[in-house]
């Protein structure tokens, strides 16, 4: 298992409050995505710029989600300029900067020199 990060950025075409109301329904479906560990939603209500960060159990499930219907619905619906980026998570560095619990990993006892 290689934890994989998917970052999605976008610009809303609709008011952010309207998006948030519809996203509540989408969030329930997204939570059931195969391989999803967690997702963080970021949205600037004034500019309509959004960024979502997902952690998947592996590259295959992250890529499948990026190519799947949820991101397609975002592109063809409330958002434009949708950009996806996928990268393996560097668990060692992430743990050193406080992400161990967020990644559901054991917290290291001692930081590397």
Is pLDDT at 1 greater than 50 in this prediction?
A: yes
d(CA 58, CA 37) in angstroms, rounded, equals 10
Nearest to 91 by CA among 42, 52, 55, 41: 55
Task: Give the residue ranges of DSSP H helices in the chain.
Answer: 16-30, 59-66, 69-76, 91-96
Strands 4-12 and 36-43: unpaired
CATH at 86: 3.30.70.100
Residue 111, in any domain of the structure: no
pLDDT at 113: 47
**Cβ-proximal residues to 94 (8 Å cutoff; 6+ apart), any chain:** 100, 103
Summarize the confidence of residues 89-104 as an average pLDDT.
86
pLDDT digits (tens, 9 = 90+) for 51-61: 999 999 999 99
pLDDT at 84: 98
Is pLDDT at 104 greater than 80 in this prediction?
A: no
Residue with tokens 């992400």: 99
Is pLDDT at 5 greater than 80 in this prediction?
A: yes
Domain of 23 in residue numbering reads as 4-96
Q: Tell me how many domains the chain contains.
A: 1
Q: What is the average pLDDT score of the chain?
A: 91
d(CA 9, CA 64) in angstroms, rounded, equals 17
pLDDT digits (tens, 9 = 90+) for 9-26: 999 999 999 999 999 999
d(CA 104, CA 95) in angstroms, rounded, equals 10
Residue 81, in any domain of the structure: yes
Residue 32, in any domain of the structure: yes
Residue 103's H or E segment, with its range, is none
pLDDT confidence band for 99 (50 / 70 / 90)? confident
Residue 113, in any domain of the structure: no
pLDDT confidence band for 69 (50 / 70 / 90)? very high
Residue 108, in any domain of the structure: no
């Amino acid at each position: 298992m290689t934890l994989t990060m998917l970052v999605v950025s976008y610009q809303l075409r609709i008011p952010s409050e309207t998006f948030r109301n519809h996203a509540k329904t989408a969030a329930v479906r997204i939570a059931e995505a195969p391989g999803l560990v967690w997702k963080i939603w970021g949205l600037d209500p004034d500019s309509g710029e959004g960024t979502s960060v997902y952690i998947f159990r592996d590259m295959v499930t992250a890529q499948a989600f990026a190519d799947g219907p949820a991101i397609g619905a975002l592109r063809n619906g409330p958002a434009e300029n949708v950009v996806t980026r996928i990268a393996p998570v560097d668990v060692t560095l992430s743990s050193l900067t406080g992400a161990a619990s967020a990644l559901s990993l054991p917290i290291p006892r001692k930081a590397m020199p």
